Amino acid sequence: MARYGMVIDLRTCVGCQACSAACATENQTPYWSDKWRTRVLDIEKGEYPNTGRHFVPTICMHCEEPACLTICPSQATIRDENGSILVNYDTCLGCKACMAACPYGARYVYDKNDVAKNLEIHGELSQHNVVHIDKCTFCFDRVERGLEPACVATCPAKARIFGDLDDPNSEVAKLVAAGIAKPLRPDLNTKPKVFYIY
């Protein structure tokens, strides 16, 4: 089995938000409520005139020691065979403990208004029929079909690279092994599988 991970190159991200739009379309996430599985933070730093703008795409880190997984009382948060962290919509009780535990702000509530709106837009093709806590799935259904996650396939700046961290020939494995791509907040010990070049 693979151990999927992602590298995000902050040097090349142009902040176009194409990844957010692609993800929302692919996964029917509630953009109308300003809730996203992947967002691009637009951060201004420094004091005038020495200011700089930085774009930081965020996503579920599919941690190897996920805080969300251990805290979930209903085992609605699960790890699939490729190490991706998923949510079973049917057994999620919406206690939001996983939202509180996730250090990366990766989760949000897909509430009843969002479900109704999604049904209105997508009808029978709606992917979200019940209230649940939602987050990035590394587009597992696309990956199963041999495709890349929607955000990776869409990024015009090639700022996102997806692959198997256990395959020494994959680009992600090489970047991580060389120490070029690093996790955010490794001190939290969640062992993220999304790495950043910055």
Partner 1 sequence: MSVENTLPFERQEAYEWPLAVYLLLGGIGGAFISLSFILHYLFSWSIVGNYGMLIGMGFFALAGLTLLFLDLERPLNAIYSLNNIKTSGISWDVVLIALSFGGALLYVLPFYVSIPVLESLRLLFGGIGALAGFLFPVISGGLISAPVSVPLWHTPLLPVLFLINSFGVAFSAVPAMFGPGSEIFAFIFNLAVFMANLVISGGFIAFYEHAHNGPVEAQYGFHEMWKKFNFQVGFLVVGLLFPLILSGYMFFTGNFLSWGFGALAVAQLIGGIALRNCLLKHGYLTYPWPY
Interface contacts to partner 1, rule CB under 8 A? 10, 41, 43, 45, 47, 54, 56, 58, 67, 70-76, 91-97, 99-105, 107, 109, 111, 130-133, 184-185, 188-190, 196, 198
SS3 assignment for the chain: CCCEEEEEECCCCCCCCHHHHHHHHHHCCCHHHCCCCCEEEEEEECCCCCCEEEEEEECCCCCCCCHHHHHCCCCCEEECCCCCEEECCCCCCCCCHHHHHCCCCCCEEECHHHHHHHHHHHHHHCCCCCCEEECCCCCHHHHHCCCCCHHHHHCCCCCEEEEECCCCCCHHHHHHHCCCCECCCHHHCCCCCEEEEC
Considering beta carbons, is residue 147 or 188 the nearer one to ligand SF4? 188
Smallest gap, in angstroms, from Cβ of residue 117 to ligand SF4? 20
Rounded least distance, CB 16 to partner 1, Å: 18
| Chain positions contacting ligand SF4, by CB under 6 A | 60-63, 66-68, 71-74, 76-77, 85, 87, 92-98, 102, 104, 106-107, 133, 135, 190
Q: Between residues 94 and 174, which has the closer beta carbon with respect to ligand SF4? A: 94
Please report how close the Cβ of residue 64 comes to partner 1 at its closest, in angstroms. 15
Question: Which of residues 76 and 161 has its CB atom nearest to ligand SF4 in the complex?
Answer: 76
CB of 58 to partner 1, least distance (A): 8
Q: Which is nearer to partner 1, 57 or 149 (CB)?
A: 57
DSSP β-bridge partners for residue 56: 41
